[in-house]
Chains A and B, each alone.
Chain A
Amino acid sequence: MASEQELTNARNERFLRLLEPVYRDCQRWAYNLTQDAIEAEDLLAQSILLGLQNVRQLKNDGAFKAWMFRIIANAFKHHLRSKKRQAEAVDPEMLPRFGPRDDRWTERAEQADAVRRVLMQLAPEQRQALMLFEVQGFSIRETSEVLSKKEGAVRVLLHRARERLAVLLKKEGIVVPPGGE
């Protein structure tokens, strides 16, 4: 029979083995939620500890990524509640600019900055649904599970987010080439 130490070692080894392949995605997801590198680091650290505590309850390793994303999303909600912050769209003029604004700025960095400001004008749930579906490659069903919403609600969120995003990007002069489905 395994000792407590052996069980702890096995738990840690399993958790790290599952986490490593999706760690970059977890970093992105934490940053997508907080839009702040320092807060994202705190959120990720807290989520890792929560995940570690509960990984023995995870029966299916294949569901780890969605499970971990849900933990991060729930930890973020808790974080928002504890700070009594309103998860509202932010005035784009109040957003910090990343990096010096001089000639060394590449076109890509400027565009990323503009896209970031545009994204922050979307409702938080629209932004989260977009990042999960378009960037992380989650299906509608997986997105709905991470966000604890029904599939229909996620479709509506995505539809509206795309519409709003298109209008805002156009204002910024950013053209999204045809998707080529």
Chain B
Amino acid sequence: MTDRQDKTRTSREGEILRPDPALGRLLSTLDPPADILAWSKAERLVANAPPVQLSWAEKLVIGPTVRWRYALAPVAALLLVAVLWIMPAQSYQLGTLVLTKLPVAWEVGGPAYQEVETAAHEYFAALSIPQSELYVFVKLGEDGEYRQLALGLVGAGQQQAEAFVTTLTDRFPVLGAVEPQYTQIETKLHDNRLEELAMRIAQRSDLSSLDDNALKVEVLKTLIAAGCSDIELAINRRADGTVVIVVDATMPITVTGHTREELAASGLNPELLGHETFEQLLEQVLAPTN
């Protein structure tokens, strides 16, 4: 990489921080006393390394028996259609969620983050996907140690999402340093699950006028905006006109602020969490940590 411009930024003490050539030369004298793992050894190491581990999906289309697999494919497809026909639930794909590691140095809302966000919206608009929307937000990684840049592409399939991410990583190579994860956002329609109605959706006055698909999109928007992943939705319309929306999702909350305003700035507000939950969260944030 050739990005050296940020070396001219000031340090916390207000001094210009640039490489010191004399110090660099001095420290360069600390070369290893011997040729550590000679290049020829490194080449042998690579040559003797375990082969590529293919996923089950890759194995399906790679290998000497591939012709048999292709021959069996139509039969398998027919069986799949038959199974779907008798299944009590229907499944709809609403979009694709892309997760990639957010560089540690990027501040949410900072110049680099804003540049990515703007470019993402431009590239997504260029895809011209009908009835599509893009959500850009940050969530915690699974181990809680790093942040992930999450791109919710409502209306986009995985291939479209991959094309979008490729364009984005071409401009911001650091986002491509780790393989992005693609998750299909699907909804399922069942008749026998009763759980909680999404509060924000329930407050919509035109709820009853939305059909199932439009309703799912609205719920999904709310969930994606809240940083949810592994989203499953189910909608059940009762005979008395009540609409029950069942939400099954993971919602990590990253708390980076210590005030109501800082929480709101990071996307955690009473409208999203509900007044009571937001106040509870605020109490916890303000509570002494000892």
A residues near B (Cβ < 8 Å) are: 1-5, 7-8, 11-12, 15-16, 19-20, 23, 27-28, 30-32, 37, 40-41, 44-45, 48-49, 52-53, 56-60, 62-63, 65-67, 98-99, 108, 111-112, 115-116, 119, 130-131, 133-135, 137, 139-142, 144-145, 148-152, 154-156, 158-159, 162, 165, 174, 176-181
Q: How far is the CA of A60 from the CA of B178 in the complex (A)?
A: 9
> Nearest CB to that of B112 among chain A residues?
A141
Q: How far is the CA of A141 from the CA of B110 in the complex (A)?
A: 14
CB within 8 Å: A-B pair count: 193
Q: Known contacts A32-B30, A112-B29, A134-B24; decide if A158 and B17 are in contact (CB<8 Å).
A: yes
B 42-53 binary contact with A (CB < 8 Å = 1; else 0): 110111011111
Q: How far is the CA of A133 from the CA of B146 in the complex (A)?
A: 23
A55 to chain B, nearest CB (A): 10
Q: Known contacts A37-B36, A45-B37; decide if A12 and B49 are in contact (CB<8 Å).
A: yes
Q: Known contacts A4-B62, A8-B52, A139-B1; decide if A59 and B169 are in contact (CB<8 Å).
A: yes
B20 touches A181 (CB 8 A): yes
* Neighbour of B46 across the interface among A2, A48, A116, A178, CB < 8 A: A48
B179 at interface by CB-CB < 8 Å = yes
B15 to chain A, nearest CB (A): 7
Q: How far is the CA of A7 from the CA of B53 in the complex (A)?
A: 10
B residues near A (Cβ < 8 Å) are: 1, 3-7, 9, 11-13, 15-24, 26-37, 39, 41-43, 45-47, 49-54, 61-64, 66, 103-105, 107, 146, 166, 169, 173-174, 176-179
Contacts beyond the supplied A16-B42, A59-B177: 5 A-B pairs with Cβ under 8 Å: A20-B39, A37-B34, A144-B103, A144-B104, A162-B20
* Neighbour of A4 across the interface among B16, B29, B52, CB < 8 A: B52
A135 to chain B, nearest CB (A): 5
B19 touches A133 (CB 8 A): yes
* Neighbour of A150 across the interface among B21, B27, B104, CB < 8 A: B104
B11 touches A155 (CB 8 A): yes
Q: Known contacts A37-B36, A140-B9, A152-B12; decide if A67 and B45 are in contact (CB<8 Å).
A: no
Q: How far is the CA of A133 from the CA of B19 in the complex (A)?
A: 7
A99 to chain B, nearest CB (A): 8
B61 touches A1 (CB 8 A): yes
Q: Find chain A residues with CB under 8 A from B105 CB.
A: 140-141, 144-145, 149-151, 154
Listed from nearest, the 10 A-B pairs whose CB atoms lie closest are A57-B179, A59-B176, A60-B173, A179-B20, A144-B105, A31-B32, A8-B51, A112-B29, A155-B11, A134-B24
